[in-house]
Amino acid sequence: MGACLYLLAFAIILAVATAGGACPASDRDALLALKAGLNEPYLGILDTWTGNDCCHNWHGISCNAETMRVADINLRGESEDPIYERAHRSGYMTGSISPAICNLTGLAVLVVADWKGISGPIPRCVTSLPSLRILDLIGNKFTGRIPPYIGRLHELTLRRQPPPPHAPRPPKQQALRPDPRRHRAAFHAEPGPAEREPAYGDHPLSFANIYRLADLDLSLNRLSGQLPDMFGKMPVLATLNLDGNLITGPIPPSLLNSGVSILNLSRNSIEGRIPDVFGPGSYFMAIDLSYNMLSGPIPKSISAAAYIGHLDLAHNQLCGPIPDGPPFDHLDADSFLGNTCLCGKPLSSC
Ligand SMILES: *[C@@H]1O[C@H](CO)[C@@H](O)[C@H](O)[C@H]1NC(C)=O
Ligand SMILES: *[C@@H]1O[C@H](CO)[C@@H](O)[C@H](O)[C@H]1NC(C)=O
């Protein structure tokens, strides 16, 4: 009788263990390749990435409960996780992101944020991960161009297959709580044809396979190139934060009359006039264009926008009278300081 109970208990434990499952070896290998390319000397976070089952107790890794595929990589160098309090420091990591990460075809969330020292290009293949919804890579040293020709590829992407109806949703983030201080990136990605990885060099980061992008946050890196016209034509793009990069060229007019409602392009080298295309379709919680090289007048059409909450045009080369009406009647002088020759309320009269 006793032996029977033991056997039964053993069978149950075995069944539970099997149902719980472990991550596939291919996912574990991809994570180990990611680990091999990174160096995190102070907290030992990546030291937890050991053993066969990458779904359990690997810091920042969560798996889809049904498929046991890796669904969520959530590595934040600054957060409220006690690990940082205990270490009395924020995170620091060097190295680069291995393209092997693209073998994680169940990946829905990829957050590698605020590590300050991770460099190299963002692997282009991330844009063809079939389930990827969120990509947050702020606060690193990633390089690469945002390609100017991207707009031409937009139509092509729209003809691609819709995502599978049962695509896994991102699991609840357990390892680290999200940082409430900032808006975070969310690529809403579509599967695309396999992209060729260029052999070397500072190649463009291709957004060609992505048309469901809702929030994109690549702030505080070293990305260069011009703003693709495509950003203003993406139906669900709501937040675009590219502040603190090396972006050049003009603002695409479509961006100012699109679904984007939070736009931060501050601290780049964007030039030319601010397109005079604001209209009833322009609804901005915040537009920050400060610390660029924008010239010419402030467009009058801004007053025709449906709504503009915060507007920051400081530290450019703008000139001429500040228009009347909303949103100018609720902005203070800080929004206009440091320009070539702006005048009128709230600055001194013309
Ligand atoms: C990624 O997948 C490719 C193709 O299946 C394979 O050759 C390669 O070894 C994998 N890389 C890693 C690190 O798992
Ligand atoms: C835009 O980005 C800059 C630089 O990173 C930051 O200082 C500023 O607060 C941001 N603006 C808004 C409106 O969030």
pLDDT digits (tens, 9 = 90+) for 233-285: 777 778 888 999 999 999 999 999 888 999 999 999 999 999 999 999 899 99
Q: Do strands 70-76 and 61-63 pair parallel, antiparallel, or not at all (unpaired)? A: antiparallel
Tell which atom from ligand 1 comes closest to the C-alpha of 103. 1
pLDDT of residue 305: 94
Q: Do strands 246-249 and 141-146 pair parallel, antiparallel, or not at all (unpaired)? A: unpaired
pLDDT of residue 158: 35
Average pLDDT over residues 289-293: 98
Q: Do strands 94-95 and 38-39 pair parallel, antiparallel, or not at all (unpaired)? A: antiparallel
CA of 105 to the centre of ligand 1 (A): 12
pLDDT of residue 3: 54
pLDDT of residue 256: 94
Q: What percent of the chain shows pLDDT beyond 90?
A: 53
Average pLDDT over residues 216-243: 84
Residue ranges around ligand 1 (CB below 6 Å): 26, 29-30, 33, 100, 103
Which is nearest to 176 in space by CA: 304, 264, 257, 74? 74
> Residue 212: which pLDDT band, with cuts at 50, 70 and 90?
low
Distances (CA, A) of 173 to 72, 278, 279: 8, 38, 39
> Residue 20: which pLDDT band, with cuts at 50, 70 and 90?
low
pLDDT of residue 146: 67
Distances (CA, A) of 228 to 100, 159, 215, 264: 27, 20, 15, 15
pLDDT of residue 213: 60
Highest mean pLDDT among 15-19, 93-97, 157-161: 93-97
- Residues 128 and 195 sit within 8 Å (Cβ to Cβ): yes
Residue nearest to atom 1 of ligand 1 (CA): 103
- Residues 328 and 309 sit within 8 Å (Cβ to Cβ): no
- Out of 49-53, 58-62, 141-145, 147-151, least confident range: 147-151
Looking at all shown ligands, the one closest to residue 33's CA atom is: 1
C-beta neighbour count of 111 within 10 angstroms: 24
CA of 242 to the centre of ligand 1 (A): 32
Looking at all shown ligands, the one closest to residue 31's CA atom is: 1
Which is nearest to 81 in space by CA: 109, 43, 36? 43
Cis bond upstream, residue 327 (ω within 30): yes
- Residues 205 and 227 sit within 8 Å (Cβ to Cβ): no
Residue 347: is it exposed, middle or buried by C-beta count within 10 angstroms (0-12/13-18/19+)? middle
Which is nearest to 273 in space by CA: 256, 250, 242? 250
Tell which atom from ligand 2 comes closest to the C-alpha of 286. 13
- Residues 134 and 186 sit within 8 Å (Cβ to Cβ): yes
- Over the range 203-222, which residues count as b (16 or more CB within 10 Å of their CB) and which as e? ebbbbbbbbbbbbbbbbbbe
pTM (global) more than 0.75: no
| Averaged confidence pLDDT in the chain | 78
The yes-or-no verdict on residue 44 having pLDDT over 60 is: yes
Looking at all shown ligands, the one closest to residue 54's CA atom is: 1
Which is nearest to 183 in space by CA: 80, 252, 264? 264
pLDDT of residue 47: 95
- Out of 8-22, 56-70, 153-167, 212-226, least confident range: 153-167
pLDDT of residue 229: 79
Q: What percent of the chain shows pLDDT beyond 70?
A: 74
> Residue 64: which pLDDT band, with cuts at 50, 70 and 90?
very high
Q: Coil, strand or helix: which one is 174?
A: coil
